[in-house]
Amino acid sequence: MILTFTRRFSRQALAKPNFAYFLWRFVGNGLRTGRALLSHPSHRDTPLIASELTAQGIVVGPSTRFLTVSGQQALGEAATRVLETSRAEEVQAVVSGRVTSDERQKEFLVHLVSYPTGMRVDDPMLRVAADPKLLEIVASYLGLWPCLHSVAAWLNHPTDAPPQISQLWHRDPEDLRLVKAFIYLGDVDERCGPFTYIPRTHPFGAEAATAQRFDKKKRVADDRMVKVFPLESWRVCTGPANTMILADTVGYHRGGKPTVGSRVLITFTYTSGMPITERALALEGLPDWISSDIQRWALKPLVGSPPRSEAKPKKSRKKKALV
């Protein structure tokens, strides 16, 4: 029932809280909101990071700023595996153009991981995604304990085609407010297709109302966007390996269009317990390494089928990795 209200606002950044938002936050996600309101941050810099995310819609820094020590160790393991996959013959054949990508839509992207039968609980990517500090930051921004929605690893490579799909400015549809994390596994400069964001165009951001003029179109090209938001206001997220970006991607953003070299990254999406689109991820069980309630709440809905109180989601296409 609540989804009937929230779905109407998918891919829109609310400038002010409305009825659908209150229903979503305090009824649909009432328990998650209560847990967030009653918990105190265990990491000293969480409030500062969350307030930057609240004001700008984006925060960028080295992964050490957002992850606990064990999360950083898990990231090291995950990065080794993903980078190894990115060097596999099948992947390089797509990058060099010898073979066409089996990704029907995004020909500029190779999926490096997939979980058709569910993600293994000992997967290091899951440990990073469920890192307690990262979850605490996301919870502090959303004002509710989040749920992990998706996990992916991509290799973006140059193509001859003009910018398309996620390479054009857009808003994401998964929830009324959400957080996406991107972790670069290699250095990313202007030529590798950095993630780019227009600060303050996220829900309740200072530019949310101004940016609504683009909302009739699903995708917007640079030449239109620049007329309202000048180049200097764009946040172009270049950075060395291990640069981590947290962004509410309901705010306007666009993805990499590499011109030289490729970009390898890991990405996670966090939503409320009542997302608008279907979770693309299932877990074989609840990991035994979980040490806190916030982790349990982030992962439990992914085990088996979603509980009734959680989303009754819209269909989304499952991604298939090449290797």
Ligand X SMILES: O=C(O)CCC(=O)C(=O)O
Interface ranges with ligand X (CB under 6 A): 166, 172, 180, 195, 249, 253, 255-256
Name the residue among 70, 55, 61 with its Cα closest to residue 133: 70
Nearer residue to ligand X within complex by CB, 25 or 180: 180
Shortest Cβ 166–ligand X spacing (Å): 4
Q: What is the largest CA-CA distance in the chain?
A: 55
Shortest Cβ 144–ligand X spacing (Å): 21
Shortest Cβ 172–ligand X spacing (Å): 5
Nearer residue to ligand X within complex by CB, 225 or 294: 225
Burial 111-124 (b: 16+ CB within 10 A, else e): bbbbbeeebebebb
Closest-approach residue to ligand X (CB) = 255
Nearer residue to ligand X within complex by CB, 187 or 284: 187
Query: 130: which DSSP letter?
Result: T
Strands 147-156, 109-111: pairing kind: antiparallel
Q: Report the chain's terminal Cα–Cα distance, integer Å.
A: 40
- 228-to-19, 197, 249 alpha-carbon distances in Å: 29, 14, 19
Shortest Cβ 168–ligand X spacing (Å): 9
Shortest Cβ 38–ligand X spacing (Å): 32
Nearer residue to ligand X within complex by CB, 180 or 235: 180
- 222-to-51, 214, 259, 312 alpha-carbon distances in Å: 28, 12, 16, 35
Shortest Cβ 193–ligand X spacing (Å): 7
Name the residue among 197, 178, 191 with its Cα closest to residue 237: 197
Nearer residue to ligand X within complex by CB, 85 or 249: 249
Nearer residue to ligand X within complex by CB, 157 or 253: 253
